[in-house]
Amino acid sequence: MVSAIAINNLVKEYPNTKAVQGISLNIAKGEFFGLLGRNGAGKTTTINILTGLCNKTSGEVKLFGKDIVKEYREARSLIGLVPQEFNFDIFEKVYNIIYYNAGYFGIPAKERKRRIEKVLKELDLWEKRNAPARALSGGMKRKLMIARALIHEPKILILDEPTAGVDVETRKAIWKYIKKLNENGTTILLTTHYIEEAEALCNRIAIINKGEIIKLDETKNLLKILEGNAKLEDVFLHLTNNHEN
């Protein structure tokens, strides 16, 4: 198995708290993997370490064999990140937001234009390319975040609560698009507290609580933990409540 993401005994400590407590997991190349937990469980901290937004206290993380500290530039180029919060200039045009981001990865101008047109059309944003980001709906802003993350054609796409605050129709459109990306070979790591999102999209799921992974298995196996027609939400509540008690 080729590991896209290999995490070994990862720890992140802050004064008076351990946000991540020695988690280990391997995500295979081409996998659609879910990291499921309540707010404050350690999901975003883990993502921030993977992407270099915060430093780990200890442990080892490699992306396709590249150490995130020793080989930072190579590792970072492998990732496209869609964070929870909108972090672009709302007064800038949609096209320019993606164009400038492509420049960070050294993509030549001619190639940038080709890629931007392709990804904006795929996400139904092409007609909004000259609009300022502030004029977009919440769902369109989410799509813009995805487009920006994909412009350098990363092997790994990390989605941190990608459909928070969007309507049902837009959520399903985003689901369809990222499933297609995964089918075409992109490894996807999804963090979410929309449990139905993880159930619909992920092959395997790790449930994290208080900085610890309390269960990791295929989605279909997780649904067998409780008898009857249990949903993933039932399993999630059962495991996290037992862990806290």
Residues 6+ apart with CB under 8 A from 170: 139, 142, 143, 163
pLDDT at 228: 66
List phi, psi (to 5°) of 199.
-65, -35
For β-strands 156-160 and 79-82, DSSP reports them as: parallel
The amino acid occupying position 61 is V
pLDDT at 16: 87
List phi, psi (to 5°) of 234.
-65, -45
Spell out the per-residue pLDDT of the chain, length 245, in tens: 679 999 999 999 999 889 999 999 999 999 999 999 888 889 989 999 999 999 999 999 999 999 999 999 999 999 999 998 899 999 999 999 999 999 989 999 999 999 999 999 999 999 999 999 999 999 999 999 999 999 999 999 999 888 888 888 888 999 999 999 999 999 999 988 778 888 899 999 999 999 999 999 999 898 888 776 677 888 888 888 888 77
Residues forming CATH 3.40.50.300 domain(s) in the chain: 1-78+159-245
pLDDT at 229: 66
Neighbouring C-beta atoms of residue 191, cutoff 10 Å: 24
Nearest 5°: the CA angle 155, 160, 166 is 115
pLDDT at 99: 96
- For the chain, the maximum distance between any two Cα atoms, rounded to a whole number of angstroms, is 58
Q: Please state the pTM of the whole predicted model.
A: 0.92
The amino acid occupying position 233 is E
Q: What CATH number belongs to 1-78+159-245?
A: 3.40.50.300
Provide the CB-side half-sphere exposure for 153 (13 A, CA). Answer: 10
Residues 6+ apart with CB under 8 A from 126: 117, 120
At 60, list the tokens.
Answer: 């080892």
